[in-house]
């Protein structure tokens, strides 16, 4: 066999493909950090092209004003100070909300959120962790002012322990304001993704008297904070004035129950203005969830249409060989 024929005959595996993307975006050291520690911070110059961070921050401020009736005060955080809301319960009955306000389902709030999902650096990390058939589980915004409640450590993998070693889910969070301990940043236990279990009892506590292995992550606005779904994480309470703002893009393998139910819910106009992968990312390649045999047929054909379009766009092998029904 000649060398030319051999080259043509070689099918690029998904791992080879994603490694090429990692090299193309200069992400090698961040992937290594994530493999070692379970999380990494990709800096703004790589993660936030064309002022994406500033545009996302403006967009979530608009959403907050629309939903809550008042524009958030970034400087003092007075609009969210000791915010209680429906997530106060996460503090265990006392105190205030450990996550501040959570605004959900942002994908339909403007094209900048579609751009955030399609960011090639984000997609490379998601593909590395959860494969090319990865889907969006949810995109929201945490907005937290000065508060007294820390957020307990947990794993994002939605299964009881033991957890599989590979990532079933991953979290790619846009950091929109400065993250440090006083600002109530995310707490991580380095290396905990390898333990394949969720924290229990006192080891889940964050802050005073809490898990001594939990450290506060530091990240500049525009960074992308990425973690493996098994990694233990929570958050410190915010002691400084101002707002901690982030947009978590929570993603999963397609056979995991997603937080948002997007199958059949994305307008054609939104699908048409994006690459074919956008449909896969927004769950349109998922056929499960049928209500009858006829519905199963219809869903299968619909999912196949989107999966084929992505396979054609992508050159086929990385995604096309995977099950449509997963
Ligand atoms: Fe989480």
Residue among 2, 3, 37, 13 nearest 321 (CA) = 13
Q: Which residue blocks in the chain are alpha helix, DSSP H?
A: 3-9, 14-24, 28-37, 44-47, 52-68, 111-118, 120-130, 268-272, 276-281, 293-314, 317-320
Dist. CA 169 → ligand 1 center (Å): 11
Tell me the whole-structure pTM to 2 decimals. Answer: 0.94
Dist. CA 153 → ligand 1 center (Å): 8
Q: In the block, which residue shows the tokens 């043509």?
A: 8
Dist. CA 227 → ligand 1 center (Å): 10
Higher pLDDT, 11 or 5: 11
Q: What Cα–Cα distance (Å) separates residue 251 from each residue in 4, 240, 264, 291, 326?
A: 39, 31, 18, 25, 15
Q: What pLDDT was estimated at residue 322?
A: 47
Dist. CA 279 → ligand 1 center (Å): 25
Q: What pLDDT was estimated at residue 320?
A: 47
Q: Which CATH superfamily groups domain 13-260? A: q2cbj1_9rhob like domain (2.60.120.620)
Give 226-243 pLDDT, tens digit per residue: 999 999 999 999 999 999
Dist. CA 268 → ligand 1 center (Å): 31
CB burial of residue 74 (10 Å; 0-12, 13-18, 19+): middle
DSSP helix/strand/coil, 73: coil
DSSP string over 145-207: -S-SPPEEEE----SPSSPPSS-SEEEEEEE-S-BSTTBT-EEE-TTGGGG-S---GGGG--S
Dist. CA 154 → ligand 1 center (Å): 6
Lowest-confidence pick of 81-95, 240-254, 296-310: 81-95
Dist. CA 39 → ligand 1 center (Å): 12
**Residue 150 CB-half CA count within 13 A:** 25
Dist. CA 235 → ligand 1 center (Å): 9
The two tokens of residue 141 are: 């915004």
pLDDT mean over 45-73: 97
Q: What pLDDT was estimated at residue 321?
A: 41
Dist. CA 230 → ligand 1 center (Å): 10
Dist. CA 79 → ligand 1 center (Å): 24
The two tokens of residue 18 are: 């994603």
The two tokens of residue 167 are: 């990532």
Is the confidence at residue 263, as pLDDT, over 90?
yes
Dist. CA 156 → ligand 1 center (Å): 5
pLDDT mean over 63-78: 97
Q: What pLDDT was estimated at residue 2?
A: 45
Is the confidence at residue 326, as pLDDT, over 50?
no
Cα pseudo-dihedral 99, 102, 105, 107, rounded to 10? -80
Residue among 130, 131, 140, 114 nearest 266 (CA) = 114
Give 178-228 pLDDT, tens digit per residue: 999 999 999 999 999 999 999 999 999 999 999 999 999 999 999 999 999
Dist. CA 80 → ligand 1 center (Å): 20
Sign of CA dihedral 326, 248, 115, 262: positive
Q: What are phi and psi of 147, to 5 degrees?
A: -150, 170
Dist. CA 7 → ligand 1 center (Å): 43
Residue 249's pLDDT band, with cuts at 50, 70 and 90, is very high
């Amino acid at each position: 066999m000649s060398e030319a024929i051999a080259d043509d005959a070689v099918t690029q595996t998904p791992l080879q493909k994603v490694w090429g993307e990692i090299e193309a975006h200069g992400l090698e050291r961040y992937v290594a950090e994530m493999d070692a520690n379970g999380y990494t911070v990709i800096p703004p110059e790589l993660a936030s092209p064309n002022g994406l961070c500033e545009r996302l921050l403006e967009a979530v401020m608009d959403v907050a004003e629309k939903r809550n009736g008042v524009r958030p005060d970034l400087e003092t955080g007075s609009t969210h100070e000791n915010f209680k809301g429906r997530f106060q319960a996460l503090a265990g009955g006392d105190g205030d909300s450990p996550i501040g306000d959570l605004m959900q389902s942002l994908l339909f709030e403007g094209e900048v959120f579609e751009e955030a999902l399609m960011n090639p650096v984000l997609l490379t990390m998601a593909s590395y962790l959860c494969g090319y058939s990865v889907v969006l589980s949810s995109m929201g915004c945490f907005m937290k002012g000065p508060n007294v409640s820390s957020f307990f450590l947990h794993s994002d993998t939605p299964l009881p322990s033991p957890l599989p070693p590979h990532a079933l889910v991953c979290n790619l969070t846009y950091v929109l304001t400065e993250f440090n301990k006083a600002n109530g940043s995310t707490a991580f236990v380095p290396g905990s993704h390898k333990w394949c279990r969720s924290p229990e009892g006192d080891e889940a506590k964050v802050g005073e008297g809490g898990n001594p292995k939990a450290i506060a992550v530091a990240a500049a606005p525009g960074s992308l904070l990425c973690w493996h779904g098994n990694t233990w994480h929570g958050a410190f309470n915010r002691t400084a004035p101002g707002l901690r703002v982030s947009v978590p893009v929570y993603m999963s393998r397609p056979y995991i129950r997603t937080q948002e139910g997007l199958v059949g819910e994305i307008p054609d106009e939104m699908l048409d203005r994006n690459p074919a992968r956008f449909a896969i990312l927004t769950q349109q390649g998922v056929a499960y969830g049928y209500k009858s045999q006829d519905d199963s047929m219809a869903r299968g054909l619909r999912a196949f249409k989107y999966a084929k379009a992505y396979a054609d766009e992508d050159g086929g092998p990385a995604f096309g060989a995977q099950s449509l029904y997963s």
